[in-house]
Structure 1
């Protein structure tokens, strides 16, 4: 072996020293770029961050994952070369991205540390445009193959429904190859519908599509019904599916098996157009309950015979399958001989694939005051049956209650009431005359001290008049300052929250009932939901009313736009917190 001479070592040393001087002299450049600056929705593209030095502590742009899904990255690589110009180093960080939505987005700066100094890249823009699907794609293209191996579909039982008719919507994933963790990129909005996500467990099953057997998984199942008539296009379901496909290359260690690769494809399924039909003209005399489905109505008195003053319970129950959470039970008019307490409402409703199944019940507590036999008004309940395309009225037999003990109720006419009053006044007059005759000595004593008594009564009368006037003035000022109104207002708000939380657990139901009750309470203070006007005063009711107008809008938007349960719970808690702080009450 030939030894390296001193001259050779000297040349190498000079080259190394010159390269170090070159690195110190060159300007540090941290460059960000993309292979595409205009990309289609859900189209993959690549961005790189390159620096001409050896760096540490790379930090990706802070907003990178806000508008883009990171398919891969950061993948780092380092390139080193030595030439006559000296030592050259280039370090690169690469990301493969997919847009989440359309628009123009700025990717902020990345940073890296070189020799104790932080270097920043420049921000740049990416424009995301609607995806263009090329029908002439090569059938051997990996994404084309992937779309045939895994895809999503929206399943709706039919395209025509009546207002209030309950149905289910399924988001289904079909696959017959290996798949990775999927990502929901977009779901239909279902504006104009009531929707509720079903939490029940649905087992995977198999289905044949175009002669191929696929595994099917229910990604999401919702219970839905239209709230107004019209034709609706809810939108599309868009899901990113990492799909495994076989390649033509073979494994070097096992040539009998082909190798595979994972393709990130986006599957899109349009929701079918749904037509919601208005209910037929209602011709019955009794008010329509709003019920759509199949129901059974019943009423029950806990006793057929009771003593005066005893409590008797009347229960009205509607059970069946349909839009149970939104029906109204019939109102009952009770005889004046009964004391009736505030009714108690009870819901036993299960939301399943079969619909809203269960019962809604209202219970009245009655206290009969007089004996006799009482027959309640006829009770009826009407619902619309979409399977029969007609209204169904259920009329119950009259309920009778026999009351024993207590007084007999006598209905007195106006003439009889006047005669009775005159008789009473005549009796009082006769007793007064008799009293005067039997007490003549006492009358003489009164006449003797007449002037003293007059003076005493005059003094007392003046005092009473002054006191009454003062109370009248103070009362007006007290009422004018809205103290009474505020106290009663607080009590009503507090009671509304208690009733809502007692009777309902689902956030949508709570917001619905709370919205109705707050509108009713505020209307008593000359406040209207569409145009709030308050009495000219500096009380807090006016301010609360204006805030409620904003809450009312948020409630309606959240319910009709298909917001998630978590979003509805947050809105309910915000409203609850506002009233709790504003009115200084514990709810």
Structure 2
């Protein structure tokens, strides 16, 4: 009987020692100054092979603190008394207190083998906290940068609010020249620089006002400090510079296991590739292909997927167009990368983009979108001509005839026939009637000229005057009606006749130079600098360079030609005054 009792006791002792769980939490000390960081250490010890942790460690309510950082690791410790290996899971948390006085830190919970273990709560004492709503002082004006969410992922945004405080409300209007922080490991984008209404009951009975709201994207992990926001306080007698407080962020490293195509895109995005609809693609002729990335996140700073090179086509550097607005989780909108692509041969070709992946912080996972593909069919020049219908050929002949009328005054391009899928007899009859009407008008004008009698009056001798007056009269007689050229250039731009556009510009430039007795463009530049100043002369030189770039560009878009025409009208209107 004694042997059975001894055996049961030893069995019970072995079971107790085989499976043992210890959970405890401690702070580095109990009393803290307002500037000190509270460091908590949580230790979970599992002594036994049959113990399984069913849940993560559940933290207590830490709303009375700002979490500065946290980290976890595990280790195996040998117990010298029992000669067993103990698994230790250690978590450390750094906290910044928000209030003074006695603060209670609650229990930590964990589930091991479907049994809940918890720590005992304890109290710590926080001495007076130095309020940080105020940075430095200048003329009784203070700046404060407020960031609520100080723990984010790399390339994930956080919202910063800049406030100004002063006991004198009139001082708030004197704060100007706000400069947002600039640092290599940060990307800062302004959300709003509009001042809010003044709050008369701010901190310490001071009036406050929101000066700016901006979005901060940290592009590296670890502890990242946002530098101060500076501003100036202008008075009648002095001009002072003030700066806000600095804010420290705990930037979490992105999870491991990212796809090879992931670069730095954080948010939620979509990629599309397309070309203009109903566009006839001809071999060895340029075509526009657009890659659109839309969504919300670090759109303004991330690397965009490019179009891959291929032996089937030649591709040029894209023109980037952005349409972005601040969103709830980053910059929201779309970015368009407009490529110029030239097929090298006729036939089917596939345009592929680079593989694209992004990290979704809401789901805490990577999303691999892969490659986007666009199938195109390029036709040879003969195939494009054969595909034209009889109506399209007639319209082309009519348009060519109308364009040969060399007059900047007559808007013949407005009579051009647009391509349509069905034959429109009304358009044909209208064009024929217009041509007949123009011919009849021309004959009537000639007949009227013959009927007119020319009365010659005896000329009265006039004084010759000075050389300057004579030169002015000759210039007035040679003066060109520049508005006619502007109208003609506008018509050529709308019709898409770009070679004729640049030819007409050269003709207009020559006539304007002849008006001022300048044969070459270099002499005309010197003349403009003497008469109108160096700025007009430089604008003339820059305009000539822009014209040459657009003239010999592989493809000319209507938008770029529209900007060029605006510059031409502005400059030549000034010169011909």
Same fold (TM over 0.5): no
Task: Please tell me the TM-score bracket, short chain as reference.
Answer: 0.3 to 0.5
> Whose radius of gyration is greater, 1 or 2?
1
Query: TM-score with structure 2 length normalisation?
Result: 0.35
Query: TM-score with structure 1 length normalisation?
Result: 0.34
